[in-house]
Amino acid sequence: MMVQRSFAGKLDPDDVVRSVKTSARLNIDSEIFRQSFDHEPFGFTHNLSSLDLFSYDSLLGLAESFHGSPRDYFIAGSALSPGTQFYSVPNGGMRPREALENLDRVRCRVLLKRPEDHNARFRDLLETLFQQVVDLWGGLGNERVERLESAILISSCSTTTPVHFDPEIGFFSQIEGEKFYHVYPPACSSEAELERFYIRGRVDIGSVDIKGLDPAREHVFTLGPGRGLHQPQNAPHWVQTGRSRSVSYTFVFQTDASYTRGRTRAFNYCLRRFGLSPSRLGEHAGLDAAKASAMRAAAPIQFTGRVYNKARRVLAGRRLSRS
In whole angstroms, the minimum distance from the beta carbon of 164 to Fe ion comes to: 6
Please, what is the minimum distance in Å from the beta carbon of residue 222 to Fe ion?
A: 18
Element (H, E) at 55: none
Phi, psi of 252 (to 5 degrees): -135, 155
231 or 268: whose CB is closer to Fe ion? 231
User: What is the contact mask toward Fe ion in residues 119 to 158, using x (rule: CB under 5 A)?
Assistant: ----------------------------------------
156-175 binders of Fe ion (CB under 5 A): 166
Q: Which whole-number Å values give the CA distances from 157 to 102, 179, 293, in the listed order?
A: 12, 9, 46
Rounded CA separation 137/323 (Å): 8
Residue 125: CB atoms within 10 A of its CB come to: 24
197: left (phi over 0), alpha (psi -120 to 50) or beta: alpha
d(CA 295, CA 264): 7
Select 166 or 288, whichever has its Cβ closest to Fe ion. Answer: 166
Residue number with the shortest CB distance to Fe ion? 166
- 270-289: contacts with Fe ion (CB under 5 A): none
CB nearer to Fe ion: give 166 or 178: 166
CB of 184 vs Fe ion, minimal distance in Å: 12
Q: Which is nearer to Fe ion, 194 or 295 (CB)?
A: 194
Q: What is the smallest separation between the CB atom of 281 and Fe ion, expressed in angstroms?
A: 21
Nearer Cβ to Fe ion (166/176):
166
Nearest approach, Cβ of residue 238 and Fe ion (Å): 9
Answer whether 58's CB lies under 8 Å from 52's CB.
yes
CA dihedral 284, 257, 203, 295 (to 10 degrees): -50
* Distance of alpha carbon 231 from the chain centroid: 8
What is d(CA 175, CA 178) in angstroms, rounded to the nearest whole number? Answer: 9
By rule CB under 5 A, what count of residues binds Fe ion? Answer: 1
Rounded to a whole number of angstroms, the minimum distance from the CB of residue 162 to Fe ion is 10
Cβ proximity to Fe ion, 130 vs 172, nearer residue: 172
Kindly list the residues in this chain that would bind Fe ion in the complex (CB under 5 A).
166
